[in-house]
């Protein structure tokens, strides 16, 4: 058995080593990954964007990255279910920390996020972002599309986020409309899962509504996603309000009638063939949470995203 250490986020000797911190102690990086500003050559980078000035209802998602990191301490570096592997045995991952934003000049936020994202993507092929409200996906998509070309958007959400946008607004409900108009995503290969609200337009994006999710099996939902994206490079964005408020109460715009965390995690597990080039988990607002229910769900979704990355690397190396 390895010699036990504490504060693995700082004391790790390599980027592929397991942690031995107790779940109740130690420095709280995401899944105890080493904090580092050196990302070149890594298999994945995790960072946070603590921004919630674009919310249309309850604010508080700026505290999401902290909450998700804290909840991720429950992953104790045994083989992670359902991937049956130590995710970090052969996958080098760092926690880059958070994006520095000027809270007094929100108009600077999109360019700041896009520039930092582009810099990170110059050193790694996979960026996992912890939000923050859903506006942050707009500059993230711009930077990813600059590297990979137009992407298939796979969006788990209660909202379409296709409301009117004059290309200047700081609004978490319009990034999809803007991304379609600017050619950053391919609407013919993009899909939204769990939608339980109406917006004026869908911009050609495939919608799987909440009542359809209820009637479909996890296997059928996953098959629909894989069929619709048709092997295209994809960006995976997960708004925690995709889940029913019973499973994710700590969010800014909760909508009743959503799926359980168990069902959606089962969908994610089946997306091994999806060519994910980047991903985010957004809209966790811990001020409205209870017993870390939402933070645990968000951390688990993020862990599944890393699990999919680990399995893809194992297949292609």
Q: Could you say which DSSP state residue 164 is in?
A: -
3-state secondary structure of 62: helix
241 marked as binding residue: yes
166 marked as binding residue: no
Q: What stretches of 60-136 show up as alpha helix (H) in DSSP? A: 64-71, 109-121
Distance separating alpha carbons of residues 145 and 119, to the nearest angstrom: 14
How many other CB atoms sit within 10 Å of the CB of residue 316? 6
Interior angle at CA 48, CA 11 and CA 167, nearest 5: 160
134 marked as binding residue: yes
Distance separating alpha carbons of residues 111 and 268, to the nearest angstrom: 31
172 by Cβ neighbours in 10 Å (0-12 / 13-18 / 19+) ranks as buried
Tell me the torsion sign for CA atoms 153, 157, 163, 165.
Answer: negative
Distance separating alpha carbons of residues 304 and 42, to the nearest angstrom: 18
Tell me the torsion sign for CA atoms 135, 139, 140, 144.
Answer: positive
Distance separating alpha carbons of residues 145 and 164, to the nearest angstrom: 22
Residue with tokens 């479909």: 216
- Whether the CB-CB separation of 257 and 215 falls below 8 Å is answered with no
106 marked as binding residue: no
Enter the tokens of residue 256. Answer: 């009743």
Distance separating alpha carbons of residues 110 and 178, to the nearest angstrom: 13
Q: Could you say which DSSP state residue 287 is in?
A: G
215 marked as binding residue: no
Distance separating alpha carbons of residues 217 and 213, to the nearest angstrom: 8
157 marked as binding residue: yes
- Which residue ranges are tagged as binding site for Mn(2+)? 134, 157, 159, 161, 239, 241
- Which residue ranges are tagged as binding site? 134, 157, 159, 161, 239, 241
């Amino acid at each position: 058995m390895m010699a036990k250490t504490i504060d693995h986020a700082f004391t790790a000797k390599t980027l592929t080593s397991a942690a031995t911190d107790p779940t109740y102690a130690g420095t709280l990086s995401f899944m105890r990954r080493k904090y580092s500003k050196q990302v070149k050559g890594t298999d994945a980078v995790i960072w946070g964007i603590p921004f919630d000035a674009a919310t249309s209802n309850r604010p508080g998602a700026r505290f999401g990255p902290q909450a998700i990191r804290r909840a991720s301490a429950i992953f104790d570096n045994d083989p992670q279910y359902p991937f049956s592997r130590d995710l970090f045995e052969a996958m080098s991952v760092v926690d880059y920390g958070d994006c520095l934003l000027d809270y007094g000049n929100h108009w600077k936020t999109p360019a700041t996020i896009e520039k930092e994202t582009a810099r990170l993507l110059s050193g790694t092929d996979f960026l996992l972002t912890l939000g923050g409200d859903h506006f942050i996906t707009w500059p993230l998509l711009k930077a990813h599309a600059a590297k990979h070309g137009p992407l298939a958007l796979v969006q788990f959400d209660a909202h379409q986020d296709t409301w009117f946008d004059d290309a200047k607004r700081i609004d978490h409900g319009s990034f999809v409309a803007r991304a379609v108009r600017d050619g950053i995503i391919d609407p013919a290969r993009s899909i939204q899962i769990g939608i339980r609200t109406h917006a004026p337009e869908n911009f050609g994006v495939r919608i799987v509504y909440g009542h359809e999710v209820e009637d479909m099996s996890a296997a059928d939902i996953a098959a629909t996603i894989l069929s619709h994206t048709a092997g295209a490079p994809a960006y995976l964005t997960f708004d925690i309000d995709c889940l029913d408020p019973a499973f994710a109460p700590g969010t800014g715009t909760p909508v009743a009638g959503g799926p359980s965390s168990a069902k959606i995690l089962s969908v994610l597990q089946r997306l091994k063939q999806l060519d994910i080039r980047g991903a985010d988990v957004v809209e966790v607002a811990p001020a409205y949470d209870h017993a870390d229910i939402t933070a645990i769900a968000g951390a688990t979704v993020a862990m599944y995203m890393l699990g999919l990355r680990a399995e893809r690397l194992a297949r292609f190396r």
